[in-house]
Amino acid sequence: MDALTHRLSNWLIEHADECVAALAELVRIPSLVGQEEAAQDWMAQQYRAAGLEVDVFEADRTAAQAHPAFVDSGIPFAGRPNVVGRWRGVGGGRSLILNGHTDVVPPEPLSAWSFDPFGAQVVIGEDGRRRMYGRGALDMKGGLIANLFALRALQACGVRLRGDLILESVIEEEAGGGGGTLACFLRGHRADGFIASEPHWDDITIAHPGILYFRIVVPGRGAHAGRAHHGVNAAVEAAPIIAMLGEWDRERAERLHHELFERLEPSARRSCHLNVGVVRAGDWPSSVPSQAEIEVRLSFLPGETEAGIREEVAARVNAVAQRSSWLREHPPKLEFFGWHTDPWLQDERHPFVQEFAQCVRALRQDATLPTMRPWASGPPPILAGGTAGLDTRFAGLYGVPALAWGPKGGNMHAADEYVDLDSVLAVAHVLAVFAARWCGVVADESGTGDLAN
């Protein structure tokens, strides 16, 4: 396996420019949630060119909606296919899914960017490392290309896997994954292990909290500001609810802790969050707002349930409403929408997790490997929980061990998002080596025997 490890590293270094060019081509395809078709077509072309068995399909909404973990983005699935490529093994090994999504969040405000959000511009930093800027370069087209080049490196090095290696390019992860990764599982794409090459460079993510979106619609009564006493200001009525949410967030932060979610930043002692993300009220300074809307993202921990959180949200909003003579008679409307999931926890003692962690740490600390040389002196990633929802949670529902780990970069979901291009090669190398170890390989053409031994 040491010989194969070096062969894979050398091939990736020799084809580094090709890897960067492929990533640039993908980043230059705008693929906002709901507009993934062109990027998915491009991914299907890459999988076919690699000789994979390719399944291009649109999610079955009826089947997906029937699943309790389904998150409805509200966007039709027509014209938004998932793409799954299978490299069949010769038999007798374990299978592996390498998963990624082409959908990206909007780049607005464009004025905040120093680069074209879809220009894929490469800049050499003061530290000498090359960074590619662009929406989705980090989250997570860099991971998708790392998956692809991991497979291509294995093929180019004459490796024959025992188990199947499956590459998935999915839609709408950013909107909950109901029409993407969940749809792939529902279609029957399963494996003995699942890796989402999301940008988690410093941690191998094996958990995330539960997530719930909700909206509180507060009624008022419109009037001209010069006769405001004839109206009821919905913004003013909403203010105590917003204050309650802020206090509830602080109370939960002090009371609720889970060690796994605090490993990356132990000094913060913060495991969960309640974020008032959107507040809307009124449309003119001289008009009394007749309605206010508050949209919230709340995360919750193992031991709590989505059903229990929903009940507590309703009770707390109602308690505030009872203190207002107007809201007692005109109660706020509570709506749950978008993201919802119970916490996901992967047993860190599972052989899949332990074998992958050992592989990453060993390679990251090996300065003899060209792909790893920039990282050899840095700390290895730790097993930890992440704070954002991931498609890995769907694997757990099907009994498939899963984790997330991928390229390094910055400004994810923000202006001037970038990916470190050296890290894309490093991730491709780790994934290729791990696939060989996990799936197993047969003797190479030189007759040196079973490379897995």
pLDDT tens track for 278-309: 999 999 999 999 999 999 999 999 999 999 99
- Give residue 1's pLDDT band: very low, low, confident or very high (50, 70, 90): low
pLDDT tens track for 308-326: 999 999 999 999 999 999 9
CB-based contacts of 230, cutoff 8 Å, min separation 6: 221, 223
pLDDT given at position 274: 98
Residue 349 Cα distances to 6, 269, 344, 353, angstroms: 29, 24, 15, 7
Residue 281 Cα distances to 35, 221, 320, 326, 406, angstroms: 30, 12, 19, 17, 40
Give the dihedral of Cα atoms 366, 370, 376, 382; nearest 10 deg.
-80
Average pLDDT over residues 53-76: 96
pLDDT tens track for 199-231: 999 999 999 999 999 999 999 999 999 999 999
Specify the DSSP class assigned to residue 138. Answer: I
Q: Read off the tokens for 435.
A: 């696939």
Angstrom distance (rounded) from CA 264 to CA 268 = 9
Q: Are 304 and 210 in contact (CB under 8 A)?
A: yes
pTM of the model as a whole: 0.93
Average pLDDT over residues 36-55: 98
**170 membership: H or E segment, kind and range:** strand 165-170
Residue 82 Cα distances to 146, 179, 234, 255, angstroms: 18, 8, 43, 41
pLDDT given at position 448: 42
The beta-strand segments (E) located in 222-368 are 223-224, 274-281, 287-288, 291-300, 333-341, 344-345
- Give residue 16's pLDDT band: very low, low, confident or very high (50, 70, 90): very high
Angstrom distance (rounded) from CA 70 to CA 290 = 34
- Give residue 449's pLDDT band: very low, low, confident or very high (50, 70, 90): very low
> If you average pLDDT over every residue of the chain, what do you get?
95
Cα end-to-end span (Å), the chain? 7
Looking at the domain covering 210-340, what would its CATH class be?
Answer: alpha beta
- For CA atoms 378, 384, 387, 391, the dihedral sign is positive
pLDDT tens track for 388-419: 899 999 999 999 999 999 999 999 999 999 99
pLDDT given at position 128: 86
CATH 3.30.70.360 domain locations along the chain: 210-340
Average pLDDT over residues 129-153: 97
pLDDT given at position 144: 98
pLDDT given at position 127: 84
Specify the DSSP class assigned to residue 229. Answer: G
Angstrom distance (rounded) from CA 56 to CA 84 = 6
- Give residue 260's pLDDT band: very low, low, confident or very high (50, 70, 90): very high
pLDDT given at position 377: 84
Angstrom distance (rounded) from CA 82 to CA 66 = 19
Residue 315: phi and psi, rounded to 5, are -65, -40
CATH 3.40.630.10 domain locations along the chain: 2-208+344-439
Superfamily for 2-208+344-439?
A: Zn peptidases (3.40.630.10)
pLDDT given at position 444: 57
Residue 28: phi and psi, rounded to 5, are -75, -5
Angstrom distance (rounded) from CA 133 to CA 407 = 14
- Give residue 453's pLDDT band: very low, low, confident or very high (50, 70, 90): very low
pLDDT given at position 450: 44
pLDDT given at position 452: 42
- For the cut 60, the answer to whether the pLDDT of residue 332 exceeds it is yes
pLDDT given at position 451: 47
**pLDDT cut 70: percent of the chain above it:** 97
Residue 355 Cα distances to 84, 89, 168, 349, 443, angstroms: 25, 20, 22, 10, 22
Average pLDDT over residues 410-432: 97
